[in-house]
Amino acid sequence: MKTENKIIILDFGSQYTQLIARRIRDLEVYCEVWPYNTPLEKIKTTPMKGIILSGGPASVYAEDAFLIDSELLQLDLPILGICYGMQLISHLSGGKVQRAAKQEFGFSELVIDDHHDLFANVPVKSQVWMSHADHIEVMPKDFVQIAHSANSISAIRHTTKKIYGLQFHSEVTHTLIGEQLLKNFVFKICQCEADWKISEFITMSTREIKTKVGSHNVVLALSGGVDSSVCAVLLHQAIGQQLTCIFVDTGLLRQDSGWHDLQKFQKQFGLSILKIDAKERFLTALKGVTNPEQKRKIIGNLFIEIFNEEAQKIKNVKWLGQGTIYPDVIESVSVKGPSATIKSHHNVGGLPKDLPFQLIEPLRELFKDEVRKTGEALGIDHQFVYKHPFPGPGLAVRIIGEITSEKVTLLQAADQIFIDELYNFDLYDQVAQAFVVLLPVQSVGVMGDVRTYGYTAVIRSVDTTDFMTANWSRLPFELLDKVSSRIVSEVRGINRVTYDITSKPPGTIEWE
């Protein structure tokens, strides 16, 4: 975003880096996360109001530590180092950082020594969240201590420059004074204005899209999910009929596939959407396939093939619209490299980079909740923008073993019952993702006087904010009972329902 009124966060690999960005954006100040090794020249030439150095897993004195050019500290810019960031400032300024005799993990009592600026309007004593093994042993030159705990120097300030360090994590909600500290840094010290508003974003990005697209056409793969839908409506607001959306019905979507909502968008916004019925092609391609990775590959490739076929039919297309969002962007420039975690397979269902179009990604600066707010501001229903994520390969990875049209129908029916009941119990918005999995396991049951031999459905519901870790949801027994009875009595072919109580890790959210 081209604004001077922004904060740059240099990422040293902390699990909390994105959280810092979220907190700053919550203060209505725009911020971006850059890798720690961003060239100094880029920092010098980019207008900004201040820099935050994030935490990180390493020790500043380790051989392979992530270091920065100490000239950064000579720039006339406010800087706040958090945890590793503070240790780095100390290390580069003549202080000594070493392993602490008493490490601090969890809550510690913070005592403030100087309420002057960073700690303005916070109580003298409060609980803060610590997570560090190293600490400042010898204070860096020209710095003073402005807060402490029983075991560490917890905050420092340069005597003449606007350079600050916090040993604890101000960005986590456990640190109750955290928001006030970030406010003090951002508004008092960096002199930012609170001007990051969704309405502003929409106005600016509409203008940018118009200029960028010119007289060419844009094509977009609409999945029925939140990101691609908001992206489509935003693009449409900017360029109207120059946008064509392609909705590929793989036959592996939920019963409520989103098509119903997309039809509403056609009416409400005048969005032009081509619906391609490709159920048979997908089922045929998946016949006899049981291996999850093979399923993903087949679906991914066929999706691209079909999308390409359709996109080629549209004239004058130069641009491919995509609903990429900021966490994907951060992930792709992460200092940790492309994430080595289980998430790497998730781009299946996306489009390859070598399509003959240029990318236009108007949401690439937004976090998920900002995408939702944008959607609502554009007039999309609340219920739609708050729906749970759905994986690219769809129900194919929720039908364990071979996929048949009969199994898809069974799963769709069971899944819909679960989702409906979550809404009935007013719990849909309380859980992060909920769905049903169909197992190829058949067991004996009894219905009335008749013996049955049917499939097993697994109910899965998780609570998470980042989807990297998740807890199984503690759903009320009444809900589980209702869902189980309804599935067994209404979905002929399923006669047993189980509830998955595995968290992630060690499990994953999906079963395949």
Q: Is 4 tagged catalytic?
A: no
Binding mask 104-143 for ligand XMP (x = CB under 6 A): ----------------------------------------
Q: Which is nearer to ligand XMP, 321 or 391 (CB)?
A: 391
Q: How far is the CB of 345 from ligand XMP (least distance, A)?
A: 5
Q: Which is nearer to ligand XMP, 161 or 345 (CB)?
A: 345
Binders of ligand XMP among 274-333, rule CB under 6 A? 296
Of 140, 251, 362, 393, the one binding ligand XMP (CB under 6 A) is 393
End-to-end CA gap in the chain: 38
CA 69 from centre of chain:
31
Check: CB of residue 398 under 8 Å from CB of residue 436: yes
**Is 223 one of the annotated binding-site residues?**
yes
Q: Which helix (H) or strand (E) covers residue 326, if one does?
A: helix 326-333
Compute the residue count for the chain.
512
Kindly indicate which of the ranges 196-204, 346-354, 448-456, 477-485 contains the residues binding ligand XMP, using the contact rule CB under 6 A.
346-354
Number of residues that bind ligand XMP (CB under 6 A): 16
Check: CB of residue 184 under 8 Å from CB of residue 120: yes
Q: Is 345 tagged catalytic?
A: no
Binding mask 486-505 for ligand XMP (x = CB under 6 A): ------------------x-
Residue 260 C-beta-side C-alpha neighbours within 13 Å: 8
Check: CB of residue 416 under 8 Å from CB of residue 424: no
Q: How far is the CB of 255 from ligand XMP (least distance, A)?
A: 17
Q: Is 508 among the residues that bind ligand XMP (CB under 6 A)?
A: yes
Q: Which helix (H) or strand (E) covers residue 90, if one does?
A: helix 84-92
d(CA 243, CA 233): 10
**Identified catalytic residue from 171, 310, 365, 512:** 171
Q: Is 478 tagged catalytic?
A: no
**Is 229 one of the annotated binding-site residues?**
yes
**Identified catalytic residue from 83, 190, 192, 245:** 83
Cis bond before residue 505 (omega within 30° of 0): yes
CA 42 from centre of chain:
26
Q: How many CB atoms lie within 10 A of CB 127?
A: 15
Q: How many CB atoms lie within 10 A of CB 338?
A: 11
Q: How far is the CB of 433 from ligand XMP (least distance, A)?
A: 5
Interface residues with ligand XMP (CB under 6 A) are: 296, 342, 345-346, 348-349, 389, 391-393, 433, 467, 504, 508-510
Annotated binding site for ATP: 223-229
The catalytic residues are 83, 169, 171
